[in-house]
Structure 1
Amino acid sequence: MSFSNEVREEIARSITDRDRKFACLYGILLYCRTFHGQQIILQSESPVFAELIPTLFHAVFQTVLKPDVRVTTRGNAQSMYSFTISDPAQIQQICSTYHISPENREINLSNLVNNSLSSFLAGAFFSCGSVIDPNKGYHLEFNTPSELLCNDLQKLLLTIGVRGGQVFRKNMYVLYLKDSEHIEDTLTYMGAQQCTIELMNIKIRKDMRNRANRIRNCDEANIDKVVSAAMRQTEDILWIIRCNRMETLPEELQELAQLRLENPELSLKELGEMLSVPIGRSGVNHRFQKIAAIAKELRSHEK
C-alpha cells in the first residue's frame, strides 16, 4: 500500500460523527475536478475513497441522494472509482446544502462547525491530495481545480502555521509542501497521527545516517540506541499532544518535548545543552522518563 493510501486509511477512521462527515464531504465536493450545473464527478484510485463516499452521502443526505457508481480498470491494472451525479435537482440540493456556486467555488466557513475544519481539509486531501513515500523525499500537494480554491486552501493551512508554495501545472493550481515539519503538522491536523510518526521515524533514520556519514568514528550500535530512544520519546510526546495534555505538563517537560520534536537527531547530552537552563544527560533522561510515564498512563486510559 502506498503512503498516500495509508494516510487516507487513517484519516478515514477519524471521520466519525455527523459534523465531521458533513465537513469531509464538503471538502471532497468543493475540490473535485468536475462540478457544474449538469454534472458532478468524484474520482479516485483509492479503495478507501470508494468505501467512504457512500457513507458520507448517507450521513448527510440519507437515502435521498445516491451517486451513480462506476469502476474502470486502467492499463496498469489500477481501478478507478467514479461517483457521478447528473440529476439537476440533486445537484441543486448539494449546492443548496453546502452553499456552493458551481461557477465560483470557494470555501464557506459557515459550513464548518464544532472544530470540523480538520475533517474539511481531510476531504480536500481525499479529493485532490497526495503525499509521496517519505523514504523517497518530502512532498505533499493538493491539485486544486481553480486559483481561488488554491488560495483559499493556502490561507486555511496558514491558520495552523503551515506555509505552502503554488505552481500551475497541467491546467491545475497546485499547492505543495516540501518542508517535512509542515507535512507532519498537516498530516497530524487531518487525523493521520500514526503516519506522522512513521514519517518522523523515517526522518530520524535519515538524519542519523547522514550524521554517521559525517562523523567517521561514530559507533553504529550507539546510533541505533539513540535512534530507538528518540523514536520512543517522539511517540510518547505525540501521544500526549493527541490527548491534548501537552499544556498540562510542567514547563521544563514542555520545553524538552518541543526540543525533541524539533531535533530528532540530537543526543540527550546535546538536548540538555540547548535547554534554557542547561542540565546534564542524566537530568534529561530523568525528564524523558517522566514524559514516558505520563504517556503510558494516557495509553492505559485509551484502552
Structure 2
Amino acid sequence: MSFASEVKKELATIEVEECCLRAELHQVIRLRAEVSLDNKNFKLTISTTNLKIARRILYLLKTLYNSEVLMLKKERTSLDKKSLYYLVVEEKGLEILRDLELIDENYNLVSTTGSDFLKKDCCKASLVRASFLMKGSINDPRTNNYHLEITLNNLEEANQIQKILSPLGIESKTIARKKGLVLYIKKAENIGDFLGFIGATNSRFAFEDYRIKKDLSNYVNRIMNCDVANEQKAMNSARNQLEDIELIEKNLGFLNITPRLMNAIILRTTYPEDSLSQLSEKSEETVGKYISKSGLSHCFKDLKEIASKIKK
C-alpha cells in the first residue's frame, strides 16, 4: 500500500464531532458529487476509487441523514485502472443540499462555502481533510521529493484552503494543470504540519520518522563524501610535495636548505601519506620542535618555488 493510501486509510476512520462531519460531507459533495434532477428530486452521485473512502462517505450520509444510499462498483478493464465506486442518493437529496448550504432558495448550487463551516477550527480542518481525501495525493517521504497536492475546481476553492492553512504557517502554492487547479505543498515541515492539522497523527509520525532518517542519511553521505574528497586532496598535495623534494635533492641537494625547510622535508619524507595536521602533531617528536599546520604550509610553498625555478 502506498503512503498516500495509508494516510487516507487513517483519515477515513477518524472520529469527529457532528459539526465536523457536516463540514466534511459539505466538501465531499462540493468536490466530487454530480447533482441531477430526477423526478422532481435532486439526485446525488458521488464517485471514488478508494473503497475505504466510499465507506466513509456512506457513514457520513447514514449518520447525518439516515439516508438510503445505493452503492455500486464498476470494474474498469485497463490494467492501471482501479475499480470505481458510486454512491447514489435518490431521496433526501434536496434536504442534504439545503442543510449543507450547497443550494440557495432558487435551487441554484452555491459556489461558496457557508460561513457555518468556517467558524470553528475543527470544522476548517474537516473541510481540508475532505479535500485531501477526495482529490489529494502525497509522495512517499522515502523518495527524493517531498510533495503534497490537492486538485480543486477553481481558484476560489484554492484560495479558501490557503486562507485556512496560512495562519498555521503552512505555505502552499497553486498551479494550473489539465486536470484542474492544483494546490501544492513542497516543504517537508509544512507537509508534516498539514498531516497533523487534518488529523492524520500516525501518518505524520511516520512521515517525520522517514524524513529524519533520510535527512540523517543524506547528512552522513555528505560528510563521508567531504572526508573522501579532503583525504584525496591531502594525498595529492603530499605526492606533489614529495616530487618537489625529490627534484630539489637531485639537482641542488640539501646543503643550502634552511633548517626550517629541512624540518618540513624530514617530516614529509618520514610520513609520506599524512596530512599537514598530522605532520604538525608529530613535528615535536620527529624534529624536536613544534611546527604549526600553517607553518608547514608556508614551508612547502617555499619548497615548491625552489622546485619551479629548477624546472625553468
Deviation, structure 1 residue 148:
1.4
1:69 aligns with 2:77: no
- CA offset digits 1:179-200 (Å, max 9, x no partner): 1111111100111111111111
SS in structure 1 of the partner of residue 54 of structure 2:
helix
Q: Specify the alignment match of 1:52 in structure 2.
A: 56
Matches within 5 A, 1:278-293: none
Equivalent residue letter for 2:57? I
C-alpha distance 34-164 of structure 1, shift in aligned 2 (>3 A)? farther
Cα distance between partner residues in 1 of 2:179 and 2:225 = 52
Question: Which structure ranks higher in relative contact order (CA pairs < 8 Å, sequence separation ≥ 6)?
Answer: 1
Between 203-212 and 115-124, report the one with greater CA deviation.
Answer: 115-124
Given the superposition, is the C-alpha separation of residues 5 and 171 from structure 1 closer, same or farther in structure 2, using an over 3 Å criterion?
closer
5+ long unaligned stretches in structure 2: 228-312
Per the alignment, residue 83 of structure 2 pairs with 79
> Is the 1:29–1:127 contact (alpha carbons within 8 Å) kept by the matching residues of 2?
no
Equivalent-residue separation in structure 2 for 1:106 and 1:36 (angstroms): 19
User: Which one-letter code corresponds to 1:107 in the other structure?
Assistant: T
* Equivalent pair of 1:49/1:126 in contact (CA under 8 Å): yes
Q: Which amino acid aligns with 1:97?
A: D
SS in 2 for 1:30: helix
Unaligned runs of 5+ in 1: 220-303
After superposition, the CA RMSD in angstroms is 2.4
Distance 2:214 2:226 in 1: 15
User: What amino acid sits opposite 1:95 in the alignment?
Assistant: L
Contact map agreement 1:36 1:103 (CA 8 A) in 2: no
Matches within 5 A, 1:14-163: 14-32=14-32, 34-35=34-35, 39-62=43-66, 65-74=67-76, 75-76=78-79, 78-85=82-89, 87=90, 90-101=92-103, 103-111=109-117, 115-136=122-143, 137-163=145-171
In the alignment, the residues of structure 1 paired with residue 172 and residue 164 of structure 2 have an alpha-carbon distance, to the nearest angstrom, of 11
Partner of 2:173: 165
* Structure number, greater radius of gyration: 2
Output the CA distance in 1 between the equivalents of 2:141 and 2:15.
Answer: 24
Q: 1:14 and 1:112 mapped to 2: Cα distance?
A: 20
Q: Output the TM-score relative to the length of structure 2.
A: 0.62
Q: Which amino acid aligns with 1:205?
A: K
Answer whether contact 2:26 2:102 (CA < 8 A) is retained.
no
Equivalent residue number for residue 229 of structure 1:
none
Q: How many residues align?
A: 215
Answering whether residue 218 of structure 2 is matched by residue 214 of structure 1, we say no
Q: TM-score, normalised by structure 1?
A: 0.64
User: Could you tell me how far apart the structure 1 residues matched to 2:33 and 2:147 are?
Assistant: 21
CA contact (8 A) 1:30 1:106 kept: no
From 179, 188, 191, give the equivalent of 1:180: 188
Q: Secondary structure at the match of 1:153?
A: helix
Tell me which moved more, 73-82 or 92-101: 73-82
SS at match of 1:159: helix
Work out the CA distance in 2 between the residues paired with 1:36 and 1:155: 31
Q: Confirm or deny: 8 A CA contact 2:11 2:133 kept in the other structure.
A: no
Secondary structure of 2:32's partner?
coil
Q: Structure 1's 23 and 154: CA in aligned 2 closer, same or farther, altered over 3 A?
A: same
Deviation for aligned residue 1:17: 3.4
Give CA deviations for 1:191-246 in whole Å, capped at 9, x if unaligned: 11111111111111211111111112899xxxxxxxxxxxxxxxxxxxxxxxxxxx
Change (3 A) 1:69 1:79: same
Residue of structure 2 equivalent to 1:11: 11
